[in-house]
Amino acid sequence: MPAEVLTLEIPCSTGGLNSMQTIGNFPVEDLRTAENLTYEDDTWRKEGGSAKINTTVITDTPSILGLHDFWPDSSTQKRIAATSDGKIIVFDVDGIHATLTSGLTNNKMTVFVEALGASTTRKLFSFNGADAVKVTSNGVTLSTISNPPTDWASTNQPVAGVSHNGRLWGFGNANYPHTVYYSVLTDHEDFKSSGSGTIRVYPGEGEKLIGGIDFAGRLYLFKYPRGIYYIDDSDTSTSNWLCKKLTSSVGLASPLAIAQTDNDVLFLSAEGLIYSLMSVQEYGEAASVKTSAILPEKIGNYIRENMSMTRIQNTTACYYGYKHEWHLAYSQKGSTYNNRRLVLDLHNIAIPRFRVSTKDICQAMAISRDDDYLYRPMVGDNAGFVRFIDESTRSKDGIAYTGKFETADVALVEKGIRRANLLYVEAVFKPLGDHNLTLDVYRDGTFSETVALNMGATGGILGSFVLGTDKLGGGNVKNTRARIVGDCRRVRFVGYNAGVAQDFSISSLIVGYSVGNERV
């Protein structure tokens, strides 16, 4: 009598990267490796590609240390970049379109802040902590702001700024690192006239003010390494404004390691964990890793083992609203550039999931409108190029990259108390092309064999298509199966493909097996 064929499903619709070291209760749906993947379709899919915005390199191949998509008016787009050789430029497909300024301090991360003046003129300000704050209203000319605070002199310049309640706020200058400065209501460049002022922000706490954000009508200020505060400017008299403390248990890693999502603000702490501002606000001084960090049990080990803490103040974040993803660019240990992106997928808010992208260098990031009127992340590298990511073609500048996942070691019989005979592995997938998904099979932690699953489609042939009966190839869900052999207690799969324009999108892996003996 033939042995009964049993099946075990590894669902690909709810799991994400999980770096927990547990061996007994690792969720079957989670991944040990999630490299260059996307979860947007509730599948494990290879993430979109990258393509150069400027196909001609920016002169002298600098690192891009700040980016902004500036629209002086509704019909004029100016993509602005700050470069490591001390320039602020407008760039386009041909490289530098215009140099707005040069001779700035080299190798300075630059924070760009938009503000709308009383005359409805939109202005873009640049902060880098070393040079005087600059401003442009047209993306053609750039100048130093007209009336900065007396404290902002020589190299004592603010590292960042925020537009809030009709004023420009700046902070982080080295001579007064715990003071926030605000402009007059009618002029974002005037920090000296009546109506402007300063507020001291708990000078006995933290090293310095490093970042801020306007959220839900309130200005939040962050210190490095710890301290989060907000400005109570509800009174009509500025003399009654004051700073209030939210928490002293957590702070911000870098001026740009913060971005607003659909209904929250997420930020990277100086310890390397991602926090929710809404949760910090709820718990206040009781805020902790357990109460306010995002999935620290799943991502904490990965960050400690992989993120360069010596370069944490170079991290930068943005929110990709179209895909509901929060992106953080950071340096892998040993790297001198931001060569990794940690992505938090929030398209299903009940199931937040992490993944890692390795294919791009992201010294700077910003959201920019593309030619199809979609707002996508653009990333600046270390060699004079800016790229759009999430291209539909799975390649980077026409070159292949690897999309890869690694499952848990899944027990075929509960707790692995008996051995099982492997029979097949089957994928439920969306057809995306006539190429293979390669699966390496590991039995009880040891490599066993490699199998290939074709990701192509079959369907009705044009000319013989019968409406209501046939399906056009490529639009349906498919199953494909490969035979696997050997016996084991636990099985693990490493799936990948690495060809130009090769893709995959799988919703389930199904393992067929029969129960074996109880030998050791």
Q: What is the pLDDT of residues 66-120, one digit of tens each?
A: 999 999 999 999 999 999 999 999 999 999 999 999 999 999 999 999 998 766 7
Q: Give the per-residue pLDDT at 291.
A: 76
The residues, ordered by sequence, that sit 6+ positions from 169 with a Cβ below 8 Å of its Cβ are 161, 162, 163, 180, 181, 182, 183, 212, 219, 231
Residue 508 has pLDDT above 90, yes or no: yes
Residue 473 has pLDDT above 90, yes or no: no
Residue 314 has pLDDT above 60, yes or no: yes
Strand 375-380: give its sheet, edge to edge. 49-52, 386-391, 375-380, 364-369
Residue 3 has pLDDT above 80, yes or no: no
Are 94 and 87 in contact, with CB atoms under 8 Å apart? no
What's the mean pLDDT in 140-156?
97
Separation in Å, CA 54 to CA 95, 122, 353, 374, 394: 5, 25, 32, 18, 19
Confidence of residue 462 (pLDDT cuts 50, 70, 90): very low
Residue 264 has pLDDT above 90, yes or no: yes
Least confident window among 120-124, 157-161, 407-411: 120-124
Q: Give the per-residue pLDDT at 122.
A: 93
SS3 246: strand
What DSSP state is assigned to residue 460? B
Confidence of residue 466 (pLDDT cuts 50, 70, 90): very low
pTM recorded for the entire structure: 0.94
Residue 286 has pLDDT above 90, yes or no: no
Q: Give the per-residue pLDDT at 60.
A: 97
Residue 19 has pLDDT above 90, yes or no: yes
Rounded to the nearest 5°, which phi and psi values hold at 436?
-105, 150
Q: Give the per-residue pLDDT at 89.
A: 98
Residue 457 has pLDDT above 80, yes or no: no
Strand 197-200: give its sheet, edge to edge. 160-164, 167-171, 179-182, 197-200
**Can you give the C-alpha Rg of the chain in angstroms?**
26
Q: Give the per-residue pLDDT at 519.
A: 60
Q: Give the per-residue pLDDT at 518.
A: 65
Q: What is the pLDDT of residues 95-106, one digit of tens each?
A: 999 999 999 999
Confidence of residue 379 (pLDDT cuts 50, 70, 90): very high
What's the mean pLDDT in 359-368?
98
Confidence of residue 463 (pLDDT cuts 50, 70, 90): very low
Please give the Cα distance from 382 to 496 (Å, whole number): 28
- Cis bond upstream, residue 225 (ω within 30): yes
Separation in Å, CA 11 to CA 29, 412, 455: 5, 14, 18
Residue 474 has pLDDT above 60, yes or no: no
What's the mean pLDDT in 205-215?
98
The CATH number of domain 6-45+404-515 is 2.60.120: yes
Residue 471 has pLDDT above 70, yes or no: no
The two structure tokens encoding residue 74: 């509704």
Residue 129 has pLDDT above 90, yes or no: yes
Q: Give the per-residue pLDDT at 468.
A: 45
Residues of the chain with CATH 2.130.10.10: 49-391
Q: How many residues does the chain have?
A: 520
Confidence of residue 287 (pLDDT cuts 50, 70, 90): low
Please give the Cα distance from 372 to 148 (Å, whole number): 40
- H-helix or E-strand containing 297? helix 296-306
Residues of the chain with CATH 2.60.120: 6-45+404-515
The residues, ordered by sequence, that sit 6+ positions from 377 with a Cβ below 8 Å of its Cβ are 318, 320, 327, 365, 366, 367, 368, 388, 389, 390
| Average pLDDT for the chain | 93
CATH topology of domain 49-391: Methylamine Dehydrogenase; Chain H (2.130.10)
Q: Give the per-residue pLDDT at 144.
A: 98
DSSP 320-385: ETTTTEEEEEEPBTT-SS--EEEEEE-SSTTS-EEEEE-S---SEEEEEE-TTS-EEEEEE-SSS-
Q: Give the per-residue pLDDT at 475.
A: 58
Residue 328 has pLDDT above 90, yes or no: yes
Residues 59-68 as b or e (16 or more Cβ within 10 Å = b): eeebbbbbbb
What's the mean pLDDT in 472-482?
77
Q: Give the per-residue pLDDT at 458.
A: 53
